[in-house]
């Protein structure tokens, strides 16, 4: 599981998680890695392995959600020839492949109860039994498991074995989402941007325009670092001029005026508009906190013009046409909001 990605960040929450990973690495005990998608759980697993005494032994990865339930046990524990339809020869499972090394189980929360029961025995006794065999095989495996689910809640609901959770949670490393990693968005965006610029042969790195940097900071990043990387790399490769700061970024690659619209489902329940509350009866916090109407309107106008200019690469005639303005009206807006210097 080699990765090009590196640990990039300076926020306290991020550095605490990395420091805890480094302290847990030399231990022989299991580790649970918890975090939203795209937070770097695989990188943490790799760090736990590389800094351990098992660094020169196998690091075997298995995504528990990528296989149907009927094949998970065969993948984990192996099988004998003829154990089931299609098992034409003996196959060692992931536990045997990871002997003396580390086994990384991603998406642990998706394991079936039957697989959890067999995993519990492997963790507790260090033995696995291939499907179709009655003879256990001894293995020396350090388990690192990852999930984006609340395993204690699943255990309370009877959907995850509490005894297995107890044995896997010697150490639990919870990765912070990108939106709470203060200062890391700018650092990561610059890192990914420079790397992409070098990949496509740019002679210099122009950085991002101020309004784009603000957009990156304001986005909630549901996909975390993985989403940030895609957004930044897409913005760089679409920008044509390395002499000017990147002025446009698209967060949703599917956004298009020609995006197909899915037909309504036959069983869809239509909303009852009689119970709807009038929009002006539900003011948002943003509207309630306005104490200077003119300034608020100007700021909203500035953000719209900034975004449109970036989208059209500062081509003012195209931008004016897109906004339904004359060229002179757009020039007035640019001058009014001080965007000429920024552009």
Last residue of a domain, one of 176, 207, 224: 176
- Let me know if residue 196 belongs to a domain: yes
Task: List the structure tokens of 316.
Answer: 């003012």
Model confidence band, residue 289 (pLDDT cutoffs 50, 70, 90): low
- Let me know if residue 266 belongs to a domain: no
- Let me know if residue 275 belongs to a domain: no
- Let me know if residue 4 belongs to a domain: no
pLDDT digits over 74-103, tens only?
889 888 886 777 677 888 889 999 999 999
250 and 288 together in one domain: yes
172 and 194 together in one domain: no
167 and 197 together in one domain: no
CB-count burial class (<10 Å; 0-12, 13-18, 19+) for 131 = middle
- Let me know if residue 16 belongs to a domain: yes
Among 210, 231, 211, which Cα is nearest to 220's? 231
150 and 218 together in one domain: no
163 and 292 together in one domain: no
Rounded CA gap, 302 and 46, in Å?
45
- Let me know if residue 1 belongs to a domain: no
171 and 320 together in one domain: no
Last residue of a domain, one of 131, 156, 176: 176
State the helix-helix crossing angle for 12-24 and 41-50, rounded to 10 degrees: 40
- In this structure, of 35-39, 193-197, 316-320, the range with the lowest mean pLDDT score is 316-320
166 and 118 together in one domain: yes
Domain count, the chain: 2
- The length of the chain is 343
Per the structure, the complete domain to which residue 143 belongs is given by 12-176
171 and 197 together in one domain: no
22 and 66 together in one domain: yes
Residue 140 has pLDDT above 90, yes or no: yes
Neighbours of 205 (CB within 10 A): 16
151 and 193 together in one domain: no
- Let me know if residue 274 belongs to a domain: no
pTM of the model: 0.75
- Domain CATH code at residue 59: 3.40.50.300
- Domain CATH code at residue 235: 1.10.8.60
Model confidence band, residue 173 (pLDDT cutoffs 50, 70, 90): very high
- For residues 263-291, average pLDDT: 55
Radius of gyration in angstroms for the set of CA atoms belonging to the chain, rounded to a whole number? 27
Sequence-distant (≥ 6) Cβ neighbours of residue 137 within 8 angstroms: 96, 127, 128, 129, 130
Tell me the pLDDT of the chain averaged across its residues.
86
Residues 243-254 as b/e (b if ≥16 CB within 10 A, e otherwise) read eebbbbbebeee
Residue 131 DSSP symbol: B
Neighbours of 137 (CB within 10 A): 18
pLDDT at 278 (0 to 100): 44
167 and 93 together in one domain: yes
Rounded CA gap, 232 and 194, in Å?
10
48 and 87 together in one domain: yes
């Amino acid at each position: 599981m080699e990765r090009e990605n590196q640990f990039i960040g300076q926020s306290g929450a991020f550095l605490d998680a990395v420091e805890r990973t480094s302290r847990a690495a030399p231990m022989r005990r299991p580790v649970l890695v918890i975090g939203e998608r795209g937070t770097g759980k695989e990188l943490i697993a790799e760090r736990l392995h590389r800094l351990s005494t098992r660094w020169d032994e196998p690091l075997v990865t298995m995504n528990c959600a990528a296989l149907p339930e009927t094949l998970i046990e065969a993948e984990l524990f192996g099988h004998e020839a003829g154990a089931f339809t299609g098992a034409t020869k003996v196959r060692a499972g992931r536990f045997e492949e990871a002997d003396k090394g580390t086994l990384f189980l991603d998406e642990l929360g998706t394991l079936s109860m039957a697989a959890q029961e067999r995993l519990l025995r492997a963790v507790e006794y260090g033995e696995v039994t291939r499907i179709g065999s009655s003879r256990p095989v001894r293995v020396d495996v350090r388990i690192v498991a990852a999930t984006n689910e609340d395993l204690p809640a699943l255990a309370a609901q009877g959907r995850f074995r509490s005894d297995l959770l107890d044995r896997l949670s010697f150490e639990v490393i919870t990765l912070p989402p990108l939106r709470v990693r203060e200062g890391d968005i700018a650092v990561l965006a610059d890192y990914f941007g420079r790397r992409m610029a070098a990949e496509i042969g740019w002679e210099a790195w122009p950085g991002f325009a101020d309004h784009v940097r603000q957009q990156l900071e304001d986005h909630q990043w549901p996909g975390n670092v993985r989403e940030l990387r895609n957004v930044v790399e897409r913005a760089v490769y679409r920008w044509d001029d390395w002499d000017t700061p990147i002025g446009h970024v698209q967060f949703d690659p599917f956004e298009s005026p020609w995006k197909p619209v899915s037909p309504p489902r036959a069983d869809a329940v239509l909303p009852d508009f009689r119970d709807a509350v009038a929009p002006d009866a539900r003011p948002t916090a943003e509207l309630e906190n306005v104490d200077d109407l003119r300034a608020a309107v100007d700021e909203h106008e500035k953000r719209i013009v900034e975004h449109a200019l970036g989208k059209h690469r500062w081509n003012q005639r195209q931008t004016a046409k897109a906004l339904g303005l004359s060229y002179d009206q757009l020039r007035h807006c640019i001058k009014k909001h001080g965007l000429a210097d920024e552009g």
